Chain A
Amino acid sequence: MPSPQEAENRKRGLFVLGVILLAVIISGFWTALKPAFGRLAGDFLYPYLISFRIGADSLSDQTLLVFSRRELASRLEEQLAENRRLAAQAAAASELLVENDALRRMLSLTPPASWRYTNVEIILRDPRFWNERFTIDRGSRDGIRPGAAALASTLEGQLVLVGVVDRVNLHSAEVITIFNPELKISASLPLSKAIGVINASAIGSRMPEDRIAIGFLPVRSDYIIDEILLSSGLEQQIPPGVKIGNLAEVEPADSRFSSRVFLTGSFLPALQLNSIRFLVIADRIVAPRPAEEE
């Protein structure tokens, strides 16, 4: 007959075993659990995150009160002038689009894809993986789809590729960034006429923190350091020609003594994501094919 102490120890042991088993099962089935339960968790917390964000935005808007009326009026006029300039540029670009569309129809070519842009704000970031993923305040109800490109604007007003939408909830979505090793997309080097894959590097290669690996670069020795990396357009959901970064380094190629077919390098991203807050999600709109002329 086991003593009470032995019975208690046995119960404790069984409980500990059960907890470890449960943790192992959760870890094993995590990839399957994450999509459905992650959506549930995201949608549940969304109202609280948005409320907090509204409060934080109101607080930061109060900093405008430190400026005088003259300063605020001057800034407003600068912004209005900038808006007029951009509106004129957009009008000129839209004329080109109309002309391009007419010429394509005349040649019976498929119209190019157009893009719908949605402004979003980051509402949740993982403090442990600060640069690798974050949550935005738009979801499937706002037309956000998995795989859509996430773009941000530099101080000069240039749009750069930041990441790709991963999981979409009803009111929010998760974006994985180019710093996340799981995101592997193609990038083109127009000057070198090469295409590589971001985050595809040789196993065991080390990368400085501010750089991202690029792999599957064709073997050649004429890569230009600091040349611009652009989105290649091979991924249909990512607009082509968007800046990603600048080439920083490519391992030397010596084809006389190596049978390697590809090289690995690294690049500096166009934008550091430490303090980024607003993004633009680009969603591809496929135009209907023109009716074939008889």
Chain B
Amino acid sequence: MPRGLIQFIFIATALLLLPLPELFLGAVGVPLPLAAPLVFCLTAAAGYRAGAVSAIGLGVWFDLLYGRDFPVSVWALLAVVLVASLQHREHPDHRLALTLPAFLALLAGEAVWALGVMPPDPVFAELLRLAGGVIGLAAFGTAAALGLSWLLDHTAWQLGLECSAIPHPAARTRQGGIPGRTR
């Protein structure tokens, strides 16, 4: 099977399965942002093109399922892709280096959401509460992004794919030089 097809199936399966816990737990009142961290991980691993297509597909899917009156998820996930692709230029050599880029990208996505749900004439207290929610969800999503990144990278390495946020340790040392440094 061509490697490109395997990569496509890998990304499509991740998009179909990984956001399901967000739907299930959201139905019982547990907010678990997974769609935005997943889009961030795909952007970091496979580039902005894959990230943008994933963002549109996942955003439309979520907004249709919930019956929302406006596709806010599409724009929020595209904001995540935009900020992620502006920051993430070189493959980092350790996973924690993704923390700040993930936080900023997810912050942008949550900010779009906050703009979408903001009342027409907000008072200061409402703005503070929205800002707190944005920062909290972005922080929670960052932790989810690191976990998802680990899961996706290890799965990609098992499948022999090159789309991963962090280069395979063997690939890094094969290039020579000091282990742990970027290529």
Distance A70 CA – B120 CA, assembled complex (angstroms): 56
CA distance A293 to B147 in the complex (A): 77
Cα separation A19 to B74 with both chains bound (whole Å): 11
For A125, what are the chain B residues with a Cβ–Cβ distance below 8 Å? 26-27, 29
**Which residues of the other chain, A, contact B27 by a CB distance below 8 angstroms?**
49, 52-53, 122-125
B69 touches A204 (CB 8 A): no
Is B65 among interface residues, defined by CB-CB distance under 8 A?
A: yes
The verdict on A52 contacting B66 (CB below 8 Å), with A27-B71, A127-B31 known, is no
A128 near B64 (CB under 8 angstroms)? no
Interface bits B101-128 vs A (CB < 8 Å: 1, else 0): 0000000000001000101110000000
- Of the residues B23, B67, B113, B120, contact of A34 by C-beta under 8 Å: B67
Select B24's contact among A23, A52, A167, beta carbons within 8 Å.
Answer: A52
A49 near B64 with CB under 8 A, answer no
A30 in contact (CB, < 8 A): yes
A95 within 8 A of B: no
A127 touches B29 (CB 8 A): yes
For chain B residues 71-86, which have a beta carbon within 8 Å of chain A? 71-72, 74-75, 78
Closest CB-CB distance, B76 to chain A, in whole Å? 10
A133 contacts B67, C-beta separation under 8 Å: yes
Q: Which residues of A contact B31 (CB under 8 A)?
A: 127
Chain A positions within 8 Å of B74 at CB level: 23, 26-27
Residue of B65, B72, B117 touching A41 (CB-CB under 8 A): B65
Chain B residue with the shortest CB-CB distance to A52: B24
Q: Which residues of B contact A237 (CB under 8 A)?
A: none
Cβ of A177 within 8 Å of any chain B Cβ, yes or no, is: no
Q: How far is the CA of A126 from the CA of B116 in the complex (A)?
A: 14
The residue that B49 contacts in the complex, of A15, A34, A204, A206, with Cβ under 8 A, is: A15
When the two chains form their complex, are residues A48 and B20 in contact, meaning their CB atoms are under 8 A apart?
yes
Q: Which residues of A contact B11 (CB under 8 A)?
A: none
Question: Which of B65, B78, B120 is the one whose CB lies under 8 Å from A204?
Answer: B120
Q: Does A232 contact B (CB under 8 A)?
A: no
Asked if B15 is an interface residue, CB under 8 A from chain A, the answer is no
B interface SS class: helix
Residues of chain A at interface, number, CB under 8 A: 41
CA distance A128 to B23 in the complex (A): 12
Contact A130 B70 (CB under 8 A): no
A30–B66 contact, CB under 8 A?
A: no
Cβ-defined contact, A182 with B24, below 8 A: no
The verdict on A126 contacting B71 (CB below 8 Å), with A26-B56, A41-B65 known, is: no
Assess whether A92 is interfacial by the CB under 8 Å rule: no
Indicate if A67 sits at the interface (CB-CB under 8 A).
Answer: no
- Flag whether A22 is at the interface (Cβ < 8 A): yes
The closest CB in chain B to the CB of A135 belongs to B67
Do the beta carbons of B65 and A129 come within 8 Å of each other?
Answer: no
Q: Are B121 and A204 in contact (CB under 8 A)?
A: yes
**Contact: B65 with A23, CB < 8 Å?**
no
- Closest chain B residue to A31, Cβ basis: B69
Q: Does A56 contact B (CB under 8 A)?
A: yes
Closest CB-CB distance, B75 to chain A, in whole Å? 6
Known: A45-B23, A52-B24. A166 touches B67 (CB 8 A): yes
| In contact, A19 and B67 (Cβ under 8 angstroms) | no
Hey, which chain B residues are within 8 Å of A262, CB to CB?
A: none
Contacts A49-B27, A128-B113; A23 near B75 (Cβ below 8 A): yes
Separation of A19 and B71 alpha carbons in the complex (Å) = 14
User: In the complex, are the beta carbons of B49 and A56 less than 8 A apart?
Assistant: no
Task: Give bound CA distance, A12 to B66, whole Å.
Answer: 32
Q: Does B10 have its Cβ within 8 Å of any Cβ on chain A?
A: no
A230–B48 Cα distance when bound, in Å, is 54
A42 within 8 A of B: yes
| Closest residue of B by beta carbon distance from A277 | B28
Q: What's the nearest-Cβ distance from chain B to residue A167, in Å?
A: 6
Residues of A at the B interface (CB closer than 8 Å) are 12, 15-16, 19, 22-23, 26-27, 30, 33-34, 37-38, 40-42, 45, 48-49, 52-53, 56, 122-130, 133, 135, 166-167, 174, 182, 204, 206, 274-275
Closest 6 CB pairs of A and B: A127-B26, A126-B66, A41-B64, A52-B24, A38-B64, A174-B67
* A–B pairs, 14, beta carbons within 8 Å: A16-B52, A19-B56, A23-B78, A26-B71, A38-B67, A40-B64, A49-B27, A52-B24, A122-B27, A124-B66, A129-B66, A133-B66, A174-B67, A206-B119
